[in-house]
Each structure stands twice: as structure tokens, then as C-alpha cells.
Homo-oligomer: A and B are copies of this chain.
Amino acid sequence: MMRLIVQKYGGTSVGSPERIQEVAKRIKRWRDKGNQVVVVVSAMSGETNRLIDLINAIHPTGTAREKDVVLSTGEQVTIGLLSLALEKIDCPARSYTGSQANIRTDNAFSKARINSIDEGKMRADLEAGYILVVAGFQGVDNEGNITTLGRGGSDTTAVALAVALKADECQIYTDVDGVYTTDPRVVSTASHIPKMGLEEMLEMASQGSKVLQIRAVEFAYKYNMPIRVLSSFDEGDEGKSTLVTGEEKIMEEVLVRGVAFNRDEAQLTIEGVPDQPGVAYKILGAIAKANIEIDMIVQNVSSAGLTDFTFTVHRNDYDQAKKILCETGKSLGATSCRGDKKIAKISIVGGGMRSHAGVASKMFQALAKEGINIHMISTSEIKVSVVIDEKYLELAVRTLHEAFGLNTV
């Protein structure tokens, strides 16, 4: 039976006319095996930055609608060029802008969300034997305005198209050949993961793994769409890859799937607040009102009816969040208000955790043995995250990677 495959190629993969022609050859090989192929592409590497520079030279804080008009041209150039490259090697292809593909979004310019895709026309072109080349990262709102999905939105376009077209698989081509148990730049013995669960990938992505965009994984998780991560630098098509699927059974065999981390967060603490109903809302509500996202939150009840809060925000929001927190603290009569930017968050993720006790304590023990102090702890069904001093990051990742037997043999 004929399979329908959606493939996504990032900016580096289509970074020059030569690389675009390489991608075309790869697509042809998939088609020649009897697959229908829909391709989603990003702007050529460097192009989006060039456009941002032009915008910044004129009006960096201008209307997002007009910025999206400019930014969406990057992908539009790539779809035309790739279609020409495919035609050149006798693969009839048709390009689609986000608007032509009817990728309907809300009107949150620069960070729009996909509401629906009307796939009728694309389906007809597929049946007519065309390869479809769709611009990633962009869509159109109900008034016909061009919208963009935000950086990395091309992954999301690919998964959304795969869902709308009921594709058999969504292939994300990147500069690495799949997902590893941790970042190989930190732990050289990191192991390649051939197959894992979407829920695990969701935790890995939200805890710092940068292989897949978290929004794309959320979309795939919601609609149970299998994703395969492959390298566009592999010569053939039978190279290593990671298949991320919703099939739970396979996943539970493994206790800990990988170690994710990030250095993007900062920690804030307020101490000696009277422990009354509504105090958490007073403190965190003020931060949220400023559109600052809060990640981890820990509250301790201390003696004498006073309590402490510690939470993390993105490092870029640290200064603003601290100012708001200290003002709130003052009005509540807090004894102190302080923060720390030099922290790191490390998480162990694995579908198997939910049926095994003792994973968290094994993690704490391994870190303690190396003298690494833990500031905060947060757990979910399939992950345990800790916040530590940034300077211990590499040591902690290596330690946990070994403690859970993730090294390549």
C-alpha cells in the first residue's frame, strides 16, 4: 500500500542551492520507493537573521503583523527553489505558502497557533502525483493576514500537516541522527535512542532537549502522530534515526530514557511570608500578570506561621521578576527576597519510572556522592527535575548518565 510521509528540512539542510539539490535527491529516493511525499521547509540558514536585521534597522518594536509579512518570505523562497530542484530531476512538485496550504491560525502575529488545515487541495495535488513543498513556520488568519508561528515553528507545521493529511509518519530531518540519552557534547558516551515514547519526548523537550520543538511534540502527542528524527547529512536513507511513537508498551521496558538539562532559568526566593490563605496567589499572580512564565515552584511551611517560596523563571525575565517579587514581598512583610541566576536544571526522564519506586532517591544519592547540593526538586509521573548550581552542570549530567546505565557499551 502507498504510504504518505511528511518530511521537514531545517535551515541548514536547505542552506545553499547545492544543499537544496541534495535534499531534492533524497526526496526523490523516498518517492521512488512508492511513497507520497509532503515536504515542509524552513528558510535558508542565515536568511531569517538577515530579515530580522532589516526590520531592526527600521523599527524593532513595530507591529508584529508587518514583521510577519517580512519574515514569512524566507520560507517562501525555499519552497520555490526546492520545487524547481525537484522538477529538474523529474519529480513534479508544487509549492504551497502557508496561506495557499490553508494553514489557519489565530491572529497572534509572531507566535500564532494553528487552528485548522484545509487539506482538500493538497490531497488533490498528491493524488495527481505531485510532491508538495510547503512553507513551514507560517499560516494565515481568518482575515487573510500572514502569520508566523515563531522560531522553530516549521516542526509544528510538519506535524500539523501530518495530522491533517493522516500521514503514516512525520520525518524531521536535522543536523543530528536522532535523540540521545543526553547531549553528546556534554557526555561523549551518550547513547543513541532508536525508539522512544511521545510522552517521554515531551518531557525531554520541555526539560531542555533541543532536538525537537516542544510545540511540535505536544501536537504529535495530542494526535498520536509518530515522529522520526533523522540526519539530513547521512548519505543514504537507512542511517540511524529515532522513532518517537505513542506505543506505551515498548517504552516501559526502560527505566530512565535520558538526562535533559537547561541553563535558561533563574531562581527566586521570598522568605518569612505570613502563611495565610491566598498568599501564593498574591506572590505568583503578580509575576504572571507581567506575562512572565513560572516553571518550578516549591513552598515550605516554616515555624511561627511564616512560609518560604522558591520558583524559577526564564533568565531573560529574571530582573523584572525580581523587582515585582520584592515589591510584593515588602507589602506582605516578607523577611527577605533574593535570587540566583547561576543555576541549572537537570531532569531524568523515562516512561518506566511510573511503575518503579526509588528512581528519585537513586538520583539524589548519586548527586550527593559528588557533593552536589540540590536547591529545588520537582517530580512528575515520568520525570524528576532538580535545580543545582550551574557550575556543577556537566559533572551532574555525567554522574546521572552513568548512574542510570545510559552510557554506550
By a beta-carbon cutoff of 8 Å, the part of chain A in contact with chain B is 17, 20-21, 51, 54-55, 57-59, 62-63, 65-70, 72-73, 76-77, 79-81, 83-85, 87-88, 93-95, 97, 99-100, 144-146
Contact = CB atoms under 8 A, between A and B. Distances in A.
A59 B58 CA distance: 34
Given A17-B54, A73-B73, A100-B144, A80 B66 contact: yes
Contact of A97 (B63, B69, B77, B83): B69
A81 B66 CA distance: 7
A84 B59 contact: yes
A77 B58 contact: no
Contact of A69 (B55, B72, B79): B79
B77 A70 contact: yes
Contacts of A81: 54-55, 58, 66, 70
Contacts of A85: 58-59
A54 B88 CA distance: 14
A147 to B, nearest CB: 13
A87 B73 contact: no
Contacts of A88: 58-59, 62
Nearest to A121: B144
Contacts of A144: 100
Contacts of A51: 77
A84 B55 CA distance: 8
Contact of A87 (B66, B72, B146): B66
B84 A67 contact: yes
Given A58-B21, A99-B99, A80 B69 contact: yes
Given A58-B84, A59-B85, A66-B81, 18 more contacts: A17-B58, A54-B81, A55-B80, A62-B84, A62-B87, A62-B88, A63-B83, A65-B94, A65-B95, A66-B80, A66-B83, A67-B84, A68-B80, A69-B79, A69-B80, A70-B76, A73-B73, A73-B77
Contact of A67 (B65, B72, B80, B145): B80
Given A88-B58, A88-B62, A76 B77 contact: no
A142 B21 CA distance: 31
A66 B57 CA distance: 30
A138 to B, nearest CB: 12
Of the listed residues A66, A67, A77, the one surrounded by the most CB atoms of chain B closer than 10 A to its CB is A66
A21 B58 CA distance: 7
A84 B81 CA distance: 28
A17 B53 CA distance: 10
A55 B81 CA distance: 6
A17 B59 CA distance: 10
A17 B57 contact: yes
A87 B59 CA distance: 8
A169 B68 CA distance: 31
A24 to B, nearest CB: 9
The 6 nearest A-B residue pairs measured at CB: A70-B80, A69-B80, A17-B57, A73-B73, A62-B84, A59-B84
